[in-house]
C-alpha cells in the first residue's frame, strides 16, 4: 500500500496512492498509517482522492486508524470518490468522520 505524507502547517496530510484499499491491502495500510502518524501533528487528513474501491476490510482499516489516533487527534478524510463515499454513507461512517470535499477544503477548515 503506497502512502505519502507531508506536513501542511500543523496538519499531517497522508495521500493514498493506490486505487483500492481492500482485504489484500488492509493490514499493510494500517501498518503504514501507524508509522506515518508517529509524526506529531494537530490534525491528520487522509486524502482518498485516488482510491476508487474500498471494501469492508478497507473500511475496517480506516476505522482502526481513527481509533489509534483518538482521542488526541481526529482522522479526517478528504476527496472521497463517489464509490468510496457510498461505502461511508451506507455504513453511516459518514456520521463518524469529518469528510471534506477535497484536500484544499480540509486544509482551509480549522480542526
| pLDDT 10s digits, 41-79 | 999 999 999 999 999 999 999 999 999 999 989 999 999
The average pLDDT across 21-40 equals 97
Distance CA 87, CA 48 (A): 13
Domains (range + CATH), the chain: 3-106 (3.30.750.24)
Tell me what pLDDT residue 74 has: 93
If residue 80 lies in a helix (H) or strand (E), which one and from where to where?
Answer: none
Stretch 89-108: mean pLDDT: 96
d(CA 21, CA 3): 11
pTM value surpassing 0.75: yes
Residue 109: pLDDT band with limits 50, 70, 90: confident
pLDDT at 111: 53
Q: Is the pLDDT of residue 22 over 80?
A: yes
CA separation for the pair 54, 88 (Å, rounded): 9
Amino acid at each position: 500500500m503506497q502512502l505519502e505524507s507531508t506536513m501542511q502547517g500543523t496538519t499531517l496530510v497522508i495521500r493514498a496512492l493506490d486505487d483500492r484499499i481492500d482485504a489484500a491491502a488492509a493490514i499493510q495500510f494500517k501498518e503504514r498509517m501507524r508509522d506515518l502518524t508517529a509524526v506529531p501533528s494537530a490534525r491528520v487528513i487522509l486524502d482518498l482522492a485516488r482510491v476508487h474501491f474500498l471494501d469492508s476490510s478497507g473500511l475496517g482499516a480506516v476505522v482502526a486508524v481513527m481509533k489509534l489516533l483518538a482521542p488526541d487527534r481526529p482522522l479526517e478524510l478528504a476527496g472521497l470518490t463517489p464509490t468510496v463515499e457510498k461505502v461511508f454513507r451506507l455504513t453511516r461512517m459518514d456520521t463518524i468522520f469529518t469528510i471534506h470535499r477535497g484536500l484544499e477544503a480540509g486544509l482551509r477548515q480549522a480542526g
